Amino acid sequence: MAASDSEGRLGEEFFTPGTTSFTEFLAAHRPELLPTRSPFPDGVRAEPGRFPHGTTVLALAYRDGVLIAGDRRATMGNLIAQRDLEKVHPADDHTAVAFAGSVGLALDMVKLFQVELTHFEKIEGIPMTLRAKANRLAGMIRQNLGQAMQGLAVVPLLAGYDPAAPEGRRGRIFSFDVAGGLYEKSDFHADGSGSPYARGALKKLFHPGMDRREAALAALQALYDAADDDSATGGPDINRRIFPIVSVITEDGFERLPEPETEELSREMVEQRRARPDGPGATP
């Protein structure tokens, strides 16, 4: 990656004490490898509809931690570019990130964020606090502001389990704007083009102390509502057996719900919609 001599030895930069940030290391020695570099000349914007975009992602706190989920559709203008995109990724053992926005750039940013957390832990010997992880991701988004202004925005959603938080509040959720603004959300949040509909569903379905099954069903109901009103969000595809990605983060770490469990819950939710197309009412 970085400079080496003709005998294949690593360059001096690898042996010089420096920052705990891998992103800053790249910026200093190989800035062209950063995903936040601009692919366009100044003043040139990305043509709308020419790059795949991911859409609705959400997170909600529940009894054992936090759940994070996303639909699977990517769109390119009025076309469906991909039906089985994975928008939810583990960042480390107790943190996950989901994204809406430009798919290629978002995937590169997620990979860089994963390396950033691993690099810090190797240098310092301890993991970052959850708040520090959110701040690091906010900084990476801020570096991408130039591309966002050119039409290539990434809007991630960060969720994690924080053992230092009070009992019952250890599942934490952070959202961001395209300029790197950081906002901690209570109970639940959704981002992406279908997020207004998903948040509306979560507002009526969420209640404190939900178990894993209740939280997963609420997330699936919210994504279904988003798909019902937003053409860029994909609902459960029963025929192709493509279902939303649902993951949880607890004291035991990150876990993606097994495909059979997600399929079972999705089919149960779709069957409920046959009797009640507008979805369940507010939780008493």
Kindly write down the DSSP assignment for every residue of 26-82, as one continuous string. Answer: HHHH-GGG-TTS-SS-TT--PPTTSS-EE--EEEEEETTEEEEEE---EEETTEEEE
What is the spatial distance between Cα 202 and Cα 220, in angstroms, rounded to a whole number? 10
By CB neighbour count within 10 A (0-12 exposed, 13-18 middle, 19+ buried), where does 256 fall? middle
Which residue out of 36, 55, 75, 262 is catalytically annotated?
Answer: 55
Structure tokens at 186: 């209570």
Q: How far is CA 17 from CA 7, 139, 146, 177, in A?
A: 23, 22, 30, 33
C-alpha of 208 from chain center: 23
Residue type, 119: H
Name the pairing type of β-strands 57-62 and 154-161.
unpaired
Tell me the sheet residues that pair with 64.
Answer: none
Pick from 131, 160, 145: which is nearest to 65 by CA?
A: 160
Let me know if 95 is a catalytic residue.
Answer: no
Cite the active site residues: 55
